[in-house]
Amino acid sequence: MSDHSRDLSGAGRRNFLKGVTLTGAAALTPAVVAQTPPPKNPARVVPLPNLAVETLPPPADPSNQTSSGGDFMVDVLKTLDIDYLAMNCASSFRGLHEAVINYAKNVKPEILTCTHEEIAVAMGQGYAKIEGKPMAMICHGTVGLQHASMAMYNAWCDRVPVYVMIGNIIEADKRAPGVEWVHSAIDPAALVRDFVKWDDQPASLQHFAESAVRAYKVAMTPPMGPVLLSLDAELQENPIPDRERLRIPKFAKVTPPVGDPGALAEAAKMLAAAQNPVLICDRLARTPAGMARLVELAETLQCAVVDQGGRMNFPSRHPLNQTFRRAAVVGEADVILAIEMNDLYGAVNSFSDRIVRATRAIFKPDAKIITLGSRDLYLKSNYQDFGRYAEADLAIAGDGEASLPALTEQIKRLVNAGRKSAFEARGKKLAEAHLATRERAKSDATIGWDASPITTARMCAEIYSQIKDEDWSLVGNGINIAWPRRLWNMDKPYRWNGVSGGAGIGYNAPASAGAALANKRHGRLSVTIQGDGDLMFAPGTLWTAAHHHIPILYVLLNNRAYHQELMYMQAMAARHGRSVENSHIGITITDPNIDYATVAKGFGVYAEGPITDPKNLGPALKRAVAVVKRGEPALVDVVTDPR
């Protein structure tokens, strides 16, 4: 390709047009011009086959090609079974983009048009947690990646495989003046390297094939995480010089590591002998099998389970579920098994956000702590998402879900009749406590039942009433209010899809849409509890949901504020002995109030609201659910009391 082939707008374009005017369309290149005799009578040009032209060597500035690197990249992505490619379009990957739409016919991967790169990545995060595999996203290597980066950080903290690709123009002499220079970098991945598991910038198509498969493998190996491939534009766009020599390596998933049998036996002994063992977990259930495995372990031991909610680990109404009695059960525990915990320290210590920032252990000093998880296998330094160092008496490296069956088997072998009846008595007590907690939740929910603004408890009870007879899936819960887990029967692996990980606001709307896209295939009804503040980071998500017919119900928890921060601000003002009355400045989202239903309608989404009277909420949700069941997104704006 010539120096100017990337950009026909400048000098290259002028030369090109000169060629056309001088010689006619049949002979564009200078080489051809030189060889073609001028027609004797310009008015009588007959387009005859030109033997001379067809037997010439290839021109120095060809106009067309019959193969492209992008096509080969598509071939590689197809072997990885990637269903979707989420993107905000950009010229640095026009080669791959064109190959997807015309060579792959927009099937596997199918393009998802996103109005922001953060949406594309977050959709992949929500999708992967439901579907168990990544989708791909692609963006400009510089500006696009800067937009994508926070969503990648969330996925990193949440241990979710997202497959990010970027376009870049590596060779300086191939970049057009201007924009292509500001959109190129020598090491674009540097921006996000602290929170991707692996990245590469392949220098050839063979290199791409190997790195693409490797990236997939790395992303999918626990602890999972984002990966990044930087794709040279020349590699995507130009002809394939040697297709027959290219080989796509086969992909074999890495078997997740199971904990050492000796260590698991030791853990089994401690748990079987304990008076009050407690299981506490966070990102445990990696696949639909995870929940059943934890249930089996808990029922074998008849012990308390505390589910920190990073995944759908344990049924909300299981009698052994003591999630809302965490301090009580951790306080009584003599052995604690922490499985795939991110912040174990935070879970077994209390913390006060005061002038002197103090922590206090809530577990007994002689309690034994066992950790089981893949977390110890992989850490990075800069970002502090690993939390405070938590001491353990026995630390087992291994994937939690993969290790549970062996652990449960070992425990079963140790339990004799005597222990069994002791376990049963323990289980009965826990079941009673569980029931009392549920009754308490119901009673708490009655306070302000008919109030306006609507209480969040009432809102959640109304949602549940509309979805409980469907095959529902709560794909997001913005600021993670507790009511769904307190009031709803969350009994299947897809009932809940976890949280952002990095607490990067702007996650909930797009990640919920991505999860809903995955649920669509399974015929599930997706619903998300959406913060107003979160929605305004990437409201264009609503358009993507409408455009791609993603069935999802957005219930807007509209407290007209970044309310979390309002609470912090009041505490700060009070600490300084000042009035809390100005705390709303910079924090509330009022004056003017946003009319979210109108916003949603503008994006092509069915919407109702603002709803202020609780009596109107049930009927509005019912109408919205009907829309979602027809396969489209819907939004109901509910004006709520703060939390």
Ligand X SMILES: Cc1ncc(C[n+]2csc(CCOP(=O)(O)OP(=O)(O)O)c2C)c(N)n1
For 120, 211, 227, 373, 400, the CA distances from 217, given in Å and listed in that order, are 21, 10, 10, 19, 19
Region from 401-409, 523-531, 552-560, 564-572 binding ligand HEC, contact rule CB under 6 A:
564-572
Burial (CB count within 10 angstroms: exposed 0-12, middle 13-18, buried 19+), residue 98: middle
Among 37, 13, 17, 44, smallest CA distance to 28 is for 17
Rounded to a whole number of angstroms, the minimum distance from the CB of residue 481 to another protein is 6
Binding flag, residue 92, another protein (CB under 8 A): no
Rounded to a whole number of angstroms, the minimum distance from the CB of residue 642 to ligand HEC is 9
Contacted by 12, from another protein, ligand HEC, Mg ion, none: CB < 5 to 8 Å by type? none
Which stretches within 398-522 are classed as H helix? 400-414, 417-446, 456-467, 483-487, 508-521
Torsion of CA 314, 317, 320, 322, to 10 degrees: 80
Contacted by 443, from another protein, ligand HEC, ligand X, none: CB < 5 to 8 Å by type? another protein
Rounded to a whole number of angstroms, the minimum distance from the CB of residue 203 to ligand X is 35
Instruction: Please select the residue that binds ligand HEC; options are 31, 431, 571, 599, rule is CB under 6 A.
Output: 571
Rounded to a whole number of angstroms, the minimum distance from the CB of residue 148 to ligand X is 13
Contacted by 504, from ligand X, ligand HEC, Mg ion, none: CB < 5 to 8 Å by type? ligand X
> Taking a C-beta distance cutoff of 8 angstroms, is the pair 351, 385 a contact?
no
Neighbours of 552 (CB within 10 A): 30
Contacted by 295, from ligand X, another protein, Mg ion, none: CB < 5 to 8 Å by type? none
Among 158, 89, 98, 166, smallest CA distance to 128 is for 158
Nearer to ligand HEC by Cβ, of 10 and 586: the residue is 586
Rounded to a whole number of angstroms, the minimum distance from the CB of residue 352 to ligand HEC is 8
Rounded to a whole number of angstroms, the minimum distance from the CB of residue 574 to another protein is 3
HEC letters along 532-596: HHHHHHCCCHHHHHHHCCCCCEEEEEECCECHHHHHHHHHHHHHCCCCCCCCCCCCECCCCCCCH
> Taking a C-beta distance cutoff of 8 angstroms, is the pair 561, 589 a contact?
yes
H or E element at residue 621: helix 614-629
Binding flag, residue 362, ligand HEC (CB under 6 A): no
Instruction: Please select the residue that binds ligand HEC; options are 146, 570, 612, 616, rule is CB under 6 A.
Output: 570
Is the Cα torsion angle 410, 414, 417, 423 positive or negative in sign? negative
Sequence-distant (≥ 6) Cβ neighbours of residue 511 within 8 angstroms: 122, 123, 125, 126, 154, 475, 476, 497, 500
Which stretches within 59-112 are classed as H helix? 69-79, 94-98
Binding flag, residue 353, another protein (CB under 8 A): yes
Binding flag, residue 331, another protein (CB under 8 A): no
Nearer to another protein by Cβ, of 189 and 555: the residue is 555
Instruction: Please select the residue that binds another protein; options are 28, 481, 517, 545, rule is CB under 8 A.
Output: 481
Residue 439-478 contact track with another protein, rule CB under 8 A, x = bound: x--xxxxxxxx-x-x-xxxx--xx-xx--x----------
Which stretches within 133-288 are classed as H helix? 143-157, 179-182, 205-220, 233-237, 261-273
Structure-token match 């399974």, residue found: 522
Nearer to Mg ion by Cβ, of 406 and 536: the residue is 536
Nearer to another protein by Cβ, of 56 and 361: the residue is 361
Binding flag, residue 296, another protein (CB under 8 A): no
CA 163 to the chain's CA centroid: 10
Binding flag, residue 107, another protein (CB under 8 A): no
Residues that bind ligand X (CB under 6 A): 150, 478-479, 503-506, 531-534, 559, 561-565
Nearer to another protein by Cβ, of 236 and 559: the residue is 559
For 70, 246, 608, the CA distances from 76, given in Å and listed in that order, are 10, 11, 44
Residues that bind Mg ion (CB under 5 A): 531-533, 559, 561, 563
What DSSP string describes 380-399?
-SSS-TT-S----SEEEES-
Contacted by 571, from Mg ion, ligand X, ligand HEC, none: CB < 5 to 8 Å by type? ligand HEC
Rounded to a whole number of angstroms, the minimum distance from the CB of residue 488 to another protein is 9
Residue nearest to ligand X (CB): 531
Return the structure tokens found at 170.
């590596």
Beta bridge partners of residue 368, listed in sequence order: 335
Rounded to a whole number of angstroms, the minimum distance from the CB of residue 463 to ligand HEC is 25
Contact positions vs another protein (CB under 8 A): 350, 352-354, 360, 439, 442-449, 451, 453, 455-458, 461-462, 464-465, 468, 479, 481-482, 487, 563-564, 566-567, 570-571, 573-575, 577-581, 583, 641-643
Contact positions vs ligand HEC (CB under 6 A): 567, 570-571
